[in-house]
Amino acid sequence: MLLQHQIDQDLRETMISRNEIKVSTLRFLKSALKYSAIEKKTEGLTDPEILQVIQKQIKQRRESIDQFAKAGRKDLADKEAGEAEILESYLPKQLSDGELEEFIRRETVSAGVTAKKDFGKMMKLLTEKLSGQAAAKRVSQFLGKILVN
């Protein structure tokens, strides 16, 4: 719930400072969080669940940026990029490619996994351990390279 309080506090502060883009982004995020809590039938979300919602929102923004860029709407693409940047500020520091690869190698060795057949099992384990520090797509790419070699 600590992250939820940070988002609420930031929303109040940005409303006072009249930063319209950040206010609308945080309001939309709060709405997505509330929708997710209703969907899960819980009072509030835990920090890992909030991080998942934020990552989903960022992914949606990235897809929108691509669509707007293809349609020649640079103004809307820039707006979406700004919103994605605001949302990314709530994520923990992302691991670099080198750090991520090293972490995945350590975990596969400690789990004794070498075959591609254990890919799903390792993905589940790694996504839980790396929650918020690396996108599942990146984890999947590195794990695929490691299990092939």
What would the pLDDT profile of 4-22 be if each residue is shown by its tens digit? 999 999 999 999 999 999 9
Same domain, 81 and 22: yes
pLDDT at 149: 56
Provide the token pair at 72. Answer: 């020649």
Provide the token pair at 111. Answer: 């789990």
Which domain range does residue 135 map to? 97-148
Same domain, 29 and 74: yes
* pLDDT at residue 55 is higher than 90: no
Sign of the alpha-carbon torsion through 103, 106, 110, 112: positive
pLDDT at 61: 95
Same domain, 51 and 115: no
Number of domains in the chain: 2
First-to-final CA distance of the chain: 41
pLDDT at 71: 92
What would the pLDDT profile of 109-137 be if each residue is shown by its tens digit? 888 877 788 888 888 888 888 877 887 88
CATH number of the domain residue 76 falls in: 1.10.1510.10
Q: In whole angstroms, how far apart are CA 130 and each of 17, 75, 113, 137?
A: 34, 34, 18, 12
